[in-house]
Amino acid sequence: MLPEYDVVVVDEAHELQDRVTGAVSGQLSVAMVHAAASGARKHTGITVDALNNAASNLELAIEGVPSGLMPNGLNSEQLDCVDQLRDACRAALSDSKGDSANTADGGRQLARSRLMVILELCERLLAARENREVVWFSRNSTFDPQQGYSQPDESAPALVNIAPLSVAGRLREGLFADHTVILTSATLAIGSAFEPAAGGLGLVGPGAPSWTGVDVGSPFEYPKQGILYVAKHLPKPGRGMSPEALDELEKLIRPPAAGPCAFSPRGAPPRMPPRPCVPGWTCPSSARGFDHDGAGEAVRRRT
């Protein structure tokens, strides 16, 4: 994913492990296979009956499965369907090669790339246990501007997900091997120890490259400037925000009667928020501006 390099500087490196895990995670769905089959038929002219049949069999095999982790991976019936789909993808890729005259055909290339993605996902799913990858089923949630996020519908088609248990080996070989890498972050160290973060990045253990951790300190006085607010009296967090949490948030950000509520970057003029961040809330006339991320929008419940 990186071009040729001698030195790499990664800022906000405390997010590196999660970002790489997200990048190498995969998701397979029946709709994805049907779309790939349709594209292959349209752009390459091949017969896609085997692909559609494999997708239908997979749909039956995963129909009604509950969302969640599969500790032992896919069952034998599901693995057979994935194996059938892999063979169908291989055949479709072979049939859609074409000749040298149409190698630059964009539609053909796109159709083949979709088939290749599905083939690679099938191979990963079939070898998940050997490669120490985890498999789970999920459904897509929905979002409505007025109602917010809603729980996924368990009757909806399932999505098959796969991700590595650890990306330490991938990072060690793909990023750190034979190169100089500088990782910077305000939260890489726990206390003054970098080892916990280094372990997740592949920098600890036999064969790990040498590294040095330097804590350069901080201009902030954390005992005085760091504030952690834990609303223990609120319901346990879940998807979305509960009415009780919204009430608590309103109390925390409600501007005092004596003056306006202003959140602006230093030197920047305050501005009015373009829209409320919570449905049903409006910005009071005394509110002016918010931080550059929009996180400080001053909003108030409509009365």
What pLDDT was estimated at residue 221? 78
Structural domain includes residue 37: yes
CA-based torsion, 194, 209, 173, 72: positive or negative: negative
Residue where a domain terminates, one of 136, 157, 178: 157
What pLDDT was estimated at residue 218? 76
Structural domain includes residue 206: yes
What pLDDT was estimated at residue 151? 82
Structural domain includes residue 162: no
The ranges of the chain with pLDDT < 70 are 1, 99-104, 255-303
| Pair (245, 178) in one structural domain | no
What pLDDT was estimated at residue 302? 36
Buried b (16+ CB within 10 A) or exposed e, 176-203: beeeebebeeeebbeeeebeebbebbbb
| Pair (100, 176) in one structural domain | no
What pLDDT was estimated at residue 289? 43
| Pair (238, 295) in one structural domain | yes
Count: domains in the chain: 3
pTM over 0.75: no
What pLDDT was estimated at residue 281? 56
| Pair (298, 182) in one structural domain | no
Give the domain range for residue 234.
229-303
Residue 72 CA to residue 166 CA, distance in Å, equals: 17
What pLDDT was estimated at residue 36? 96
- Partners of 190 in the beta sheet? 193
Which tens digits make up the pLDDT trace of 122-133?
Answer: 999 999 999 999
What pLDDT was estimated at residue 264? 44
